[in-house]
Structure 1
Amino acid sequence: MKCTISVKSPVHIGSGEKYTASEYVKSKAKNKKGDIINILKRIDVSNYFLSLSDDKKDDFLRDLSNPNFNLKNFDSKIPNTYTKYRAINKSKKDIAPTQEITEAIKTLNQLYIPGSSIKGAIKSAILYRQIDDDLIEKIADRVLRNNGRVDNRQYSFFMNRIFTSNNAPTPAQGDIMKFLQVSDSTTIKNPTIFDVATVMASFRKRHNEFYSRNNRTHEPTLSYLETIGKNNKLSFSITNNYDYDVFRKLGLDSKKDMIDIDNIKKSVFIFSRALINHEIEFAEDYDIGYLAKFYRKLQNDNSIDAPLLRVGGGSGFLSTTVGLKIKKYDEMLFEKIRDGTRGKTYEYSFPKSRKITQVGGLPLGWIQLNFKGE
């Protein structure tokens, strides 16, 4: 089945690489509407270096040792043949030459959402729907140590029981999720760079603070991220590989409905609804108006046929664990887990911070799925 993706807020899935002004030049360009926008041209530095004369190569290597090295200052007329890709620069604050930009995962210099990221988020949603009061009580009895820390071995055992069969030779062979195939998404050409800050909960009305390492200026600590920008459209395919004989042999017949497309849609819808409601509550408790406005609109967009899903950087503790379900059923148990996870207590909601783009005030990672296909 083909599934389309509408990006509702910037999506960042990192490649593990970072770069500075030694690998890009700032420039201007026109968008489709004819407006002038800021861009960064990411340069293929290796090929560019090989094109230089011997003297220029020596100059380049000498200048590169300067931490403030700026490729554009070295050569303001680098031919476009050495441009790997262009990134739209929507950062509010000017990017300093030494500031690292965290690269997004790409294939052939184009951005995409890995199928593993989509599948992992879907699995979290299915897990959320499957957990009941009985399992939560067992988690409380057998998974938590006295200090609230999670016993990872016991936790894995309980989680694996939800998705695996006892009849299979190995847990991997008996994992129902193995029979759900999710492809990588299609690609987009241009990343959008945002400067992202961490907004911290505060009980002082309209005085929510951004995390800062600078005790003198209190300037927000920023990270610069390549993202798939809002309003981009992508698609992927999702396949349920049900085989009666194989499922019967592995003892998975009782779990086959978990990877049924209708169950996936409903699970993703229910999980996102719970997460969005939690985010609205957080935003209202701490008077973060722009976040509350964003999530109220998201709440209206969420439906079973077109559910919302959160992927990639910024998803956080609640989006990727069973913490939200535990919070719903047992507040005291949730407090114990959060204290053990955090390592210290505080009076704010947990988690007490959110990653927010400086331009637009957007949280990261929200996409909408449409399983109707085309």
Structure 2
Amino acid sequence: MTNSDSSALTIFNTYKTQNYESKTIELRSPILHIGAEFSQLNPFEYVQVGTKIYLPNPEALAQALLKQGGRFLQDYMATIENKESITSLIKVAFGDAWQDKLKQISDLRPLWTQDEGQTISMLRPMIRNGMGQLYIPGSSIKGAIRTAIANCFLNHQVPPNQGVSAIESELRKRLSQGGLGNNQQQKFVDDTLFMDNWFGDYSLQYQGKEYHPRSLQNTDILRAVKVSDTSPLVKQTRKNKRGKKVGFNNSPVVAEVIVSSRFQDWLAKYKAPLYVEMVRNVRTEFTITLDQEMLSWFHHNQGIDIPFSTIDDLLRICQEFAQQQWDKQVEYWQNLRNNRHRGKSLNFDRVWDNFYVKPDCPYTLRLGWGSGLFGTTINHVFASDIQQQIRDACGIAAPNFAAPKSRRTVVNSQGDIQYVPGWVKLNVRG
């Protein structure tokens, strides 16, 4: 390292010490799923053996098939090309030892089901890091924090001419003129309506001079916030205070997820089952770093105050948003009536008892798949008719029903509907 490099590093470390606030955050969740690049696995990517799901390492499987000789490797390539199941090929290639070979080259996921004859036709995988380990990307956490901040702006900061009524008026206008555009435009309609203004309409004041960058990327206040990826979700034994084993943390499973809605009289309605790779009893950590000096450079061009200056402020903002989501869910679940529909018993008593019976939200944020419109947008603040029209324009239309209409709940290993995905608790590490 040259003297100039050493000097630059010293200056940078001094700047960090003086201006960075950094905290390690413990993240806990009953159960969650963060989607992977591909929404479902192909038949050649997993093997089901009763209530066990094997996810073979493709490279290891290819090498093992090559060692067996013959056409096994070529046949494997053909099954991939044709998107067919590899189960029969593995049985033929490895004979009586095929299950032992699968265990050696695969990740094992128990299937939560009481029906050992249940066949999985579609499986949604969870995201993995470059080492093939399950984790939660910092971008997912930061995206949820951004939505919570937008909710805070709307609750406390924006002037009336930019508040809920103004946004609703513009939404009504756009919807009356033919909707929210094509699928690509729908994804970013909130940016043009309010997000660009709240997060990007800033000038920068630095060393006595004012700058007006043209790029919204340069004036986004969340440039001052860095969120790391979590530690890998490695399965670990969980013990009680006496040191006795009571289960596992970060336990990966394949769970049946019930997609349900309701009839007009609030009787539960069964829509579909999904089989999803999820992580149970999540215990991990990540780091939030706030550059407080950089944040001080930002001055909103319309005088809106930045609602945070510390990491504790960010967590408080997340908690406020979580409580508002929670209130909406409580309203839904206290009205829903258990029902038997299409041969499925829809008994949601455990969901109510384990989650929404509590008026105060015990969680800080909702992450990932299953969090729905209320978890990923500020849709909850709009009038119900606008919520419905946005849902109908951007998702699956359900005329005359409140949005969101459907909910996703997770079936436990005993076959009971018990969990709600995505609720997470964030605590600052001592």
TM-score band by shorter chain is: 0.7 to 0.9
User: Is residue 309–residue 367 contact of structure 1 (8 Å, CA) maintained in 2?
Assistant: yes
Give the AA of the match of 1:199. Answer: S
Change (3 A) 1:300 1:171: same
User: Is residue 231–residue 284 contact of structure 2 (8 Å, CA) maintained in 1?
Assistant: yes
Paired residue for 2:69? 53
Is residue 314 from structure 1 mapped to residue 383 from structure 2 by the alignment?
A: no
The C-alpha deviation readout for 1:63-117, integer Å capped at 9, x for no partner, is: 8869455256444244368424222322455586671322111121211110010
1 CA distance for matches of 2:143 and 2:68?
46
Change (3 A) 1:256 1:342: closer
CA deviation after TM superposition for structure 1 residue 293, in Å: 2.4
2 CA distance for matches of 1:156 and 1:8?
32
1 CA distance for matches of 2:83 and 2:178?
48
RMSD of aligned C-alpha atoms? Answer: 3.2
Give the AA of the match of 1:109. Answer: G
CA deviation after TM superposition for structure 1 residue 148, in Å: 7.4
CA deviation after TM superposition for structure 1 residue 269, in Å: 1.1
Paired residue for 1:165? 201
Q: Secondary structure at the match of 2:254?
A: strand
1 CA distance for matches of 2:222 and 2:397?
35
User: 320, 338, 351: which is aligned to 2:404?
Assistant: 351
1 CA distance for matches of 2:396 and 2:126?
31
2 CA distance for matches of 1:171 and 1:314?
30
Paired residue for 1:42? 55
Q: Secondary structure at the match of 2:38?
A: strand
User: 64, 70, 74: which is aligned to 2:87?
Assistant: 70
Is residue 222 from structure 1 mapped to residue 283 from structure 2 by the alignment?
A: no
1 CA distance for matches of 2:225 and 2:314?
10
The C-alpha deviation readout for 1:102-141, integer Å capped at 9, x for no partner, is: 2111121211110010111111111112114542222133
Q: Which protein is bigger by CA-based radius of gyration? A: 2
Paired residue for 1:366? 423
1 CA distance for matches of 2:269 and 2:106?
38
Q: Secondary structure at the match of 1:237?
A: strand
Give the AA of the match of 1:202. Answer: F
The runs of 5 or more residues in structure 2 that have no matched partner are 1-22, 204-211, 235-250, 338-347
The runs of 5 or more residues in structure 1 that have no matched partner are 29-37, 212-220
2 CA distance for matches of 1:222 and 1:259?
44
Alignment of 1:9-48 (within 5 A): 9-16=31-38, 18-19=40-41, 22-26=44-48, 38-44=51-57, 45-48=61-64
Give the AA of the match of 1:183. Answer: S
User: 288, 299, 307: which is aligned to 1:251?
Assistant: 299
Change (3 A) 1:114 1:142: same
Is residue 138 from structure 1 mapped to residue 166 from structure 2 by the alignment?
A: yes
1 CA distance for matches of 2:411 and 2:143?
28
User: Is residue 176–residue 255 contact of structure 1 (8 Å, CA) maintained in 2?
Assistant: no
CA deviation after TM superposition for structure 1 residue 171, in Å: 0.9
CA deviation after TM superposition for structure 1 residue 357, in Å: 1.8
User: Is residue 398–residue 405 contact of structure 2 (8 Å, CA) maintained in 1?
Assistant: no
Paired residue for 2:3? none
User: Is residue 11–residue 365 contact of structure 1 (8 Å, CA) maintained in 2?
Assistant: yes
1 CA distance for matches of 2:410 and 2:195?
34
Paired residue for 1:215? none
Alignment of 1:75-86 (within 5 A): 75=94, 76-79=98-101, 82-86=104-108
2 CA distance for matches of 1:164 and 1:316?
25
Q: Secondary structure at the match of 2:68?
A: coil
CA deviation after TM superposition for structure 1 residue 183, in Å: 0.5
CA deviation after TM superposition for structure 1 residue 257, in Å: 4.0
Give the AA of the match of 2:170. Answer: R
User: 257, 276, 288: which is aligned to 1:238?
Assistant: 288
Paired residue for 1:217? none
User: Is residue 256–residue 275 contact of structure 2 (8 Å, CA) maintained in 1?
Assistant: yes
2 CA distance for matches of 1:55 and 1:339?
51
2 CA distance for matches of 1:334 and 1:60?
48
The C-alpha deviation readout for 1:167-208, integer Å capped at 9, x for no partner, is: 241211110011110000111235211122211112456x42
Alignment of 1:286-365 (within 5 A): 286-287=336-337, 288-296=348-356, 299-300=359-360, 302=362, 307-327=363-383, 331-338=384-391, 340-341=393-394, 344=397, 346-359=399-412, 360-361=416-417, 362-365=419-422
Give the AA of the match of 1:181. Answer: K
Q: Secondary structure at the match of 1:14?
A: coil
1 CA distance for matches of 2:79 and 2:197?
58
Is residue 4 from structure 1 mapped to residue 26 from structure 2 by the alignment?
A: yes
Change (3 A) 1:256 1:95: farther
2 CA distance for matches of 1:368 and 1:343?
31
User: Is residue 20–residue 98 contact of structure 1 (8 Å, CA) maintained in 2?
Assistant: no
TM-score normalized by structure 2?
0.70
2 CA distance for matches of 1:259 and 1:148?
41
1 CA distance for matches of 2:385 and 2:405?
17
Between stretches 177-186 and 39-48, larger displacement belongs to 39-48
User: 253, 259, 262: which is aligned to 2:312?
Assistant: 262
Q: Secondary structure at the match of 2:125?
A: strand
Change (3 A) 1:98 1:201: closer
Change (3 A) 1:126 1:79: same
Percent identity of equivalent pairs: 19
Change (3 A) 1:53 1:255: farther
2 CA distance for matches of 1:343 and 1:232?
31
CA deviation after TM superposition for structure 1 residue 336, in Å: 4.9
CA deviation after TM superposition for structure 1 residue 60, in Å: 5.4
Q: How many residues align?
A: 344
Paired residue for 1:175? 220
